[in-house]
């Protein structure tokens, strides 16, 4: 293997979508060393590495975070960067960072104690959404429709978490978003595809919970928000969840995922996400090689 054209692919298992990325990479002459969650990481000297980059697609957010951190410490760049994964795998981190950079998002509070939840509920007009800091696929996300509902939520939690170790949690205003949210797939710096996730039955519009995919054109506002997200998180591969807030008449960012799944959706919107990822990986490798070459030349000139 040669650093210029070999990558490490960290996965829980090689699913259809990762296999498609591997196939496109092979077409581009890039070799892939598959690294399952159960395997050791190659953490040897960076210069002796036969790998130019690690693509992180672990299913567990915790594994993604751990693996990218260890690899970056060892000198192997990861896609996404450890910084991006750190922000994206924690909804509270995201809220803070987006606030700092003026990314439009639902109003939120970070509740460090159950008591604070009552204040937030009142501030948001007796309707809000509570989110654990780390979750995905809609798990643990609860819509609170009043004081009694909140008391029920707290009581249910107390039995399994009497010391409230799962605090702080994120509380957001409930956004009047119609029966859909919008998923934007970003690769590199570019929003390559967007679609509505529509659900008549469930206010949580995750496709895992049964929402239907409807292709959507990327308008100027969606493109501008995507650009802003790339500025904040750095280039990478992202699935941004947006709402069109029908009360405020503007787009807001619900959350950004660091490992967007696309196996089902791409067959409906028709954009080959795996192809874009493979080409982006190639671009990053080429760029890294150019920098390395430049540094080598500089060293030669100096000596
Ligand atoms: N503040 C909110 N207002 C209205 N709907 C929300 C809000 N937050 C989340 N949702 C709904 O719940 C879904 C899951 O929330 P999200 O924050 O994306 O968590 P997950 O990581 O589990 O996907 C969203 O896709 C959306 O349909
Ligand atoms: Mg989501």
**Tens digit of each residue's pLDDT (9 = 90 or more) over 115-162:** 999 999 999 999 999 999 998 899 999 999 999 999 999 999 998 999
CA of 235 to the centre of ligand 1 (A): 24
Residue pLDDT, tens place only, 64-93: 999 999 999 999 999 999 999 999 999 999
183: helix, coil or strand? strand
| Cβ within 8 Å of residue 225, ≥6 positions away | 103, 104, 184, 240, 242, 251, 253
Q: How far is the CA of 293 from the centre of ligand 2 (A)?
A: 40
Residue 3 predicted with pLDDT over 70:
no
Non-local (6+) Cβ contacts of 37 within 8 A are: 10, 11, 12, 58, 60, 63
Alpha carbon distances (Å) from 118 to 93, 110, 255: 22, 12, 23
pLDDT for res 260: 96
Q: Which protein residues are within 6 Å of ligand 1, measured from CB?
A: 106, 129, 131, 135-139, 141, 172, 174-175, 177, 181, 203-206, 241, 254-255
Q: Which residue segments constitute the domains of the chain, with CATH numbers given? A: 3-87+275-302 (3.40.50.20), 107-173 (3.30.1490.20), 177-257 (3.30.470.20)
**Where do runs of H (alpha helix) occur along 54-180?**
61-74, 82-88, 91-101, 114-123, 147-160
* 227 burial level (CB within 10 Å; 0-12, 13-18, 19+): middle
Ligand 1 centre and the CA of 113: distance in Å? 22
Q: Is 49 helix (H, G, I), strand (E, B) or coil?
A: coil
**HEC string for 1-31:** CCHHHEEEEEECCCCHHHHHHHHHHHHCCCE
Residue 121: φ, ψ to 5°:
-60, -45
Q: Which atom of ligand 1 is nearest to the CA of 203?
A: 27
Q: How many CB atoms lie within 10 A of CB 48?
A: 8
* pLDDT computed for residue 300 by the predictor: 74
| Residue with CA nearest ligand 1 atom 2 | 174
Residues 51 and 82 sit within 8 Å (Cβ to Cβ): no
176 Cα nearest atom in ligand 1: 4
Ion ligand 2: residues, CB < 5 A: 241
For ligand 2, the distance from its centroid to the CA atom of residue 12, given in whole angstroms, is: 20
DSSP annotation string for 244-303: EETTTTEEEEEEEESS---TTHHHHH---HHHHHHHHHHHHHHHHHHHHHHHHHHHHHH-
pLDDT per position as a tens digit, 33-65: 999 999 999 998 666 668 999 999 999 999 999
Pairing assessment for the beta strands 53-57 and 6-11 based on DSSP bridges:
parallel
Query: Which of 159-163, 189-193, 243-247, 260-264 comes out lowest in average pLDDT?
Result: 159-163
Q: Are 218 and 184 in contact (CB under 8 A)?
A: yes
**Distance (Å, rounded) from C-alpha 184 to C-alpha 191?**
6
Percent of the chain's residues with pLDDT above 90? 87
Query: How far is Cα 257 from Cα 237, in angstroms, rounded to an integer?
Result: 9
């Amino acid at each position: 293997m040669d650093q210029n054209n070999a990558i490490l692919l960290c996965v829980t298992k090689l699913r259809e979508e990762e296999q498609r990325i591997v196939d496109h990479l092979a077409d581009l002459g890039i070799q892939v060393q598959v690294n399952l969650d159960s395997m050791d990481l190659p953490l040897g000297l960076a210069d002796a590495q036969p790998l130019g980059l690690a693509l992180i697609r672990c299913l567990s957010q915790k594994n993604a975070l751990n693996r990218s951190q260890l690899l970056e410490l060892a000198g192997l760049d990861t896609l996404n960067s450890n910084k991006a994964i750190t922000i994206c795998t924690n909804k509270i981190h995201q809220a803070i960072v987006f606030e700092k950079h003026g990314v439009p998002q639902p109003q939120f509070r970070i509740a460090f104690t159950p008591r604070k939840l009552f204040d937030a509920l009142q501030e948001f007009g007796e309707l809000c959404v509570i989110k654990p800091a780390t979750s995905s696929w809609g798990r643990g996300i609860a819509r609170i429709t009043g004081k009694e509902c909140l008391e029920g939520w707290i009581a249910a939690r107390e039995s399994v978490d009497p010391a409230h170790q799962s605090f702080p949690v994120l509380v957001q205003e409930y956004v009047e978003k119609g029966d859909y949210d919008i998923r934007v797939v970003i690769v590199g710096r570019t929003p390559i595809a967007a679609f509505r996730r529509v659900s008549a039955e469930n206010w949580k519009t995750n496709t895992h919970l049964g929402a239907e995919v409807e292709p959507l054109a990327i308008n100027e506002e969606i493109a501008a928000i995507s650009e802003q997200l790339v500025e904040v998180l750095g280039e990478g591969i992202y699935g941004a969840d947006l709402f069109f807030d029908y009360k405020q008449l503007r787009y807001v960012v619900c959350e950004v995922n660091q490992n967007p799944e696309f196996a089902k959706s791409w067959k409906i919107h028709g954009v080959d996400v795996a192809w874009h990822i493979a080409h982006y990986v190639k671009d990053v490798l080429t760029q890294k090689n150019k920098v390395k070459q430049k540094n080598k030349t500089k060293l030669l000139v100096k000596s």
